[in-house]
Amino acid sequence: MLAKEQSVAFAGENPAVITLYRVRRQMPHYHREALEIIMCLRGTVEVYSMHEKHVLHAGDIKEADTYDIHTVTAADMDEDNLVASFHFDLTHPLFAGKGYELLYYVCSSDGADEARQPALNTLRRYLWALLYEALRGGHADRTVELSSGILQTLRDSFQYFNDINLDDTYSRDMQDRFEHIIAYMLENYADRITMRDICQIEHLNYNYLSQFFKTTSLKTFRAFLHEIRVYHSEHLLLCRPELSVPEVGYACGFSDPKFFYREFRKKHGHTPHQHRIWYREYNRLAMEDTVFMLAEKKQELLDCIAGFYSDMVCEELSLCF
């Protein structure tokens, strides 16, 4: 196994848990029922998510969806870094049944365009406030309020819809419809799906949906379907190494192994076989994180929060130093 499912221990009715650690070279993993936001607090770390590399400096964040295979590694093994991972329980009543687990999000400090910088800053403030709340005991109502605000900000500003809707032509109504389309395709990607099927299910005009895809960075419905299939193929490649590459392609809806190879290479820049080799070599040097209790680093964390937001109005976050 080149990547593993990693469970998250949520405490009681709490919808969120924060893990504080010093990282060296994590084993690639994913969380089937939890959404994660990684925040670098000190030093510089590299996050590989779906094999895309993101460099995080102090204050930077990167989100990982429930099925995103990801890993965090130190940019400099001799540097004393500090990282916080915020995990949100998508089975919690606060989020369950609202489709959060069936959406793509695209959120990272090094990938947010100028238009989404205000939303990114809002997200950071929520995260700092949630960390502060955990440091002072984690009042249940406040934790729920902040957790809800974090996931709603992701949904409003960092959905895949926002990333591909290049000129913001389409309304909130189309975003809601796109949520339904993604959910359906994520549940049925291994089957034969056509745009006409989607139009019937969503009661959309065929030409309207076709035009929608033409105005996005995807250009076509088929390109979107292939991207979803390639996305899920990584799980089988890394979590089911006993499967051959053609078997992985068939399982994800590709009827032609050569076409699967081509689409995978278009997305990742190398073949499925090379993908496995890269992770096999990476994992040879994997190391356990050094995990800290929040109380161990309380003053250091308070200094981090104050350092980033000393020039802002603390009441916005209910931070009372």
Close Cβ partners of 277 (under 8 Å, ≥ 6 residues apart): none
Per-residue confidence (pLDDT) for residue 169, from 0 to 100: 66
pTM of the full structure: 0.91
CB count within 10 Å of CB 187 equals 10
For 45-81, b where at least 16 C-beta lie within 10 A, e where not — what string? Answer: bbbbbbbeebebebbbbbbbbbbbbbbbbbeeeeeeb
The sign one gets for the Cα dihedral 93, 97, 102, 104 is negative
Q: Is the dihedral of CA 171, 172, 175, 177 positive or negative?
A: negative
Residue 103 gets the label, from left (phi > 0), alpha (psi -120 to 50) or beta, of beta
Give the span between the Cα atoms of 242 and 236, in whole angstroms.
9
Ranges under pLDDT 70 in the chain: 166-171, 309-321
Residue 235 parent element (H or E): helix 221-239
3-class SS of residue 45 = strand
Residue 270 makes CB contacts below 8 A (sequence gap 6+) with 278
Beta strands in the chain (DSSP E): 4-5, 16-22, 29-30, 34-42, 44-49, 52-57, 61-64, 70-74, 82-89, 290-292
Integer Cα distance of 118 and 99 in angstroms: 25
Short-list 129, 165, 121, CA closest to 145: 129
pLDDT tens readout for residues 24-74: 999 999 998 999 999 999 999 999 998 789 999 999 999 999 989 999 999
Cα dist. 153→107, 150, 159, 219, 263 in Å?
Answer: 11, 5, 9, 27, 32
Q: Count other Cβ atoms within 10 Å, centred on residue 186.
A: 16
Q: What are the structural domains of the chain?
A: 4-161+289-317 (2.60.120.10), 167-215+218-283 (1.10.10.60)
Instruction: Please give the DSSP secondary-structure letter assigned to residue 51.
Output: T
Nearest alpha-carbon partner for 5 in 45, 53, 64, 60: 64
* Cα(110)–Cα(4) distance, integer angstroms: 26
